[in-house]
Structure 1
Amino acid sequence: MNKILITGGAGFIGSNLTEYFLNKGYYVVCLDNFATGHRYNIEPFLENSNYKLIEGDIRDLETCKTAVEGVDYILHQAALGSVPRSIKDPVTSNDVNVTGFLNMLIAARDANIKRFVYAASSSTYGDSESLPKVEDVIGKPLSPYAVTKFVNELYADVFSKTYGIQCIGLRYFNVFGRRQDPNGAYAAVIPLFVKQLINHESPKINGTGDYSRDFTYIDNVIQMNELAMLSENAEAVNTVYNTAVGDRTTLNDLMHYLKKYLSEFDPEIANVNTIYGPNRIGDIPHSLASIKKAEKLLGYKPSHTIDKGLKEAVQWYWENLK
């Protein structure tokens, strides 16, 4: 039985990965300090004999070393996300995303982990205006958060070359889906909009709604983590991959989809007005990923388009937010 450590395992992506790998027969260790993760995300796993929860912080090196004992693979999801959060508090974002990341790399090195797969970010593309985004063409970061995620890639590259650790970074593009938290000051746009529409509150779009994103459903992210963890292709390791669909959707189009699918449960939602405000500092206008590298080296085939993913996500939110 292979043993996986999932850092941030009580979070949105981490808990979905946990559920998937437990169902496939893996032993899963979760390390989380519950700063942004939630205990209710992991309640279904607590009685599973193949599951272990370690409540701790990746900023503590000894905790990281304890968590990796006997582990074969690490799926490192723990981080402080959100561009606005990093602008408001760059110190804490750096402590968690850089120092915590380095601690996990050191623990992985010392424990001879087979492979270290980590959550990178599309924010690394920064001010690069080229579309679609190709892994080896990036710009300058536009936020402290983007800086921290780029530093992660640099550290992973150095550790792979210096210590022989197999590292793979997955540049997530606007991931959404079940268990994504709609509450809090830094809630992601899709669950926030869904919650507001269900409550007949007017969602606020930053800007004119013409900004676009490569929204990526959680099942595509799970697939990429599994492929990255298990790939036997020597060319596939010690690099980074876009983790996306390869299609872009404007915020106005996103709102159209959400109203369409939610109106199937409550017709009044179709009449909820959308309001518009100023653009957010640090936001890039457009994001579209090339997924050719992942297709070629990992055999990646997205299972969910934006349309299919939103329909499933809306169904989940309707059942769980009502």
Structure 2
Amino acid sequence: MTMSRSAIEERLHGTFQRVCVTGGAGFIGSHLVDGLRRAGVMVVVLDDLSTGRLENLAHHADGVELIKGSIEDATVREDAVAGCDLVMHLASRVSVAESLAEPVRYHRVVAEGTREMLESAVDAGVGRLVLAGSCSVYGDASPPIAETFGTAPGSPYAEAKLVAESHCRAFAASGRIATVCPRFFNVYGPRQRADSPYAGVIPIFTAREARREVPVIFGDGLQTRDFIHVEDVVRGLMLAAMATDTGAGEAVNFGTGRGTNLVELAGLLCSMPPRFEAARDGEVRHSFADAGLAAALLGFEAEIDLPTGLASLGHRRES
């Protein structure tokens, strides 16, 4: 059985005093900020607000400092990590389709941006950095997908994420900073935007149902994804931050170990049958995690099943 949220937060309070969360005004980042504040940890959020929202942090009366700026700006990075003992690096661009159109930009922000965050963290004396990685690095592997599988990135986004992980391993190997690289599968939950170019399928389906519009599926809809709730991801990130058996840049899957195809998902969320359109370039066919290493190394297992997680969105499928 995994450690409870309250137990994790209590332990975190005794481990870290000040944490920098890049991308902390975004979907996952803002939930992580919530967890850190529940633990009594001071938080510095670094976010350029290109996709993050101020309202995601508005409920924090104190204990959260927002620095608006880009991870590409050295002065901004230095200000953000000053006095911190942990960096949670979630800032990224995350669209496969956009990366195909802007591969150089993706490498610059995702890969080199991570290297520069590592440099700034080392210069500030930060002891640990946790990188938000992606299951996209596996390519079209046969699930359940374990960390021992080879990588086969099928898009500039996935390639940039893989390079970012390599930077984390290199910095750790040289003894400059401890790192760990959770690989997120398909994260969903409150605050996930449907109006973003990076939007996930769940908020898109939910928004279309609210407007009484037919859901659109690219491909035949039998492609599978591993949907993990954001609150589970936050627990996992906290455990990754504290895990004493990690620090060498280990890649660790954050998923449920269960695959759901998009036709099934549409049936859970939408009252109208889907419309099918041509499959999109660069997207994998099947993807769900082997979550065994996260359990063994971090003591982390996802606890929120998909129906329960969808209910947390306050969405009701019309009959």
- Residue in 2 aligned with 1:51? 64
Q: 1:215 aligns with which of 227, 231, 235?
A: 227
What is the DSSP-based 3-state SS (H/G/I as helix, E as strand, rest coil) of the residue aligned with 1:44?
A: coil
SS at match of 1:53: strand
- Kindly indicate whether residue 46 of structure 2 is the aligned counterpart of residue 28 of structure 1: no
Question: Alpha-carbon deviations, 1:120-142, whole Å to 9, x = none?
Answer: 00001014x33211112123211
Shift in Å, 1:236:
6.4
Residues 136, 153 of structure 2: 8 Å contact kept: yes
Match of 1:117 in 2: 130
Q: Is the 8 A contact 1:124 1:141 kept in 2?
A: yes
- For residues 236 and 71 of structure 1, the distance between their equivalents in structure 2, rounded to whole angstroms, comes to 17
Q: Deviations over 1:71-125 (max 9, x none)?
A: 0111110001110111122222222112211110001111221210010000010
Unaligned stretches of 5+ in structure 2? 1-15
**1:95 counterpart residue number:** 108
Q: In structure 1, what is the equivalent of residue 98 of structure 2? A: 85
Q: Would you say the 8 A contact 2:135–2:184 is kept in 1?
A: yes
The Cα of 1:237 is off from its aligned counterpart by 4.9
Q: Is the 8 A contact 1:172 1:243 kept in 2?
A: yes
Task: Identify which of 198, 219, 242 aligns with 1:186.
Answer: 198
Identify the residue that residue 62 of structure 1 maps to in structure 2.
75
Structure 2 Cα separation of the partners of residues 297 and 309 of structure 1: 25
What secondary structure is seen at the aligned counterpart in 2 of 1:36?
coil
CA deviation profile, 1:277-305 (whole Å, cap 9, x unmatched): 01110010000101100101111121212
Match status 1:73 vs 2:90: no
- Structure 1 regions of 5+ residues with no counterpart? 260-269
- Which residue matches 1:13? 28
Other-structure match for 1:265: none
Q: Which residue of 2 aligns with 1:252?
A: 263
Alignment of structure 1 residues 270-285 onto 2, 5 Å: 270=271, 272-285=272-285
Residue 43 (structure 1) shift: 1.6
Matched letter for residue 164 of structure 1? R
Higher share of residues assigned helix: 1
Whether the aligned pair in 2 keeps the contact of 1:224 and 1:300 (CA below 8 Å) is yes
Note the aligned Cα RMSD (angstroms): 1.4
Where 2:88 maps in the other structure, the secondary structure is strand
Match of residue 266 from structure 1? none
Report the alpha carbon displacement of residue 238 of structure 1 after superposing the two structures with TM.
2.9
Q: 2:172 aligns with which of 160, 176, 196?
A: 160
Given candidates 134, 138, 141, the residue that maps to 2:146 is 134
Q: Which amino acid aligns with 1:186?
A: Y
TM-score (norm. length: structure 2): 0.91
Distance 1:235 1:199 in 2: 46
Once the two structures are TM-superposed, the CA of residue 21 in structure 1 deviates from its matched residue by: 1.1
Q: For residue 184 of structure 1, report the CA deviation from its aligned partner.
A: 2.9
Q: Is the 8 A contact 2:95 2:197 kept in 1?
A: no
TM-score using structure 1 length: 0.90
Q: Quote how far apart the aligned CAs of 1:11 are.
A: 0.4
Rounded Cα–Cα distance in structure 2 between residues aligned with 1:211 and 1:295? 26
- Give the Cα–Cα distance (whole angstroms) in 1 for the partners of residues 248 and 296 of structure 2: 13
Distance 1:104 1:66 in 2: 12
**Contact map agreement 2:224 2:262 (CA 8 A) in 1:** yes
Report the secondary structure of 1:71's partner residue: coil
**1:235, CA displacement in angstroms?**
4.7
Partner of 1:262: none
Mean alpha-carbon deviation: is it higher for 8-17 or for 107-116? 107-116
Q: Are 1:172 and 2:184 matched, yes or no? A: yes
Matched, 1:108 2:113: no
Deviations, residues 219-251 of structure 1 (Å, cap 9, x unaligned):
11001101001122x256531100011100000
Q: Is the 8 A contact 1:60 1:103 kept in 2?
A: no
Match of residue 146 from structure 1: 158
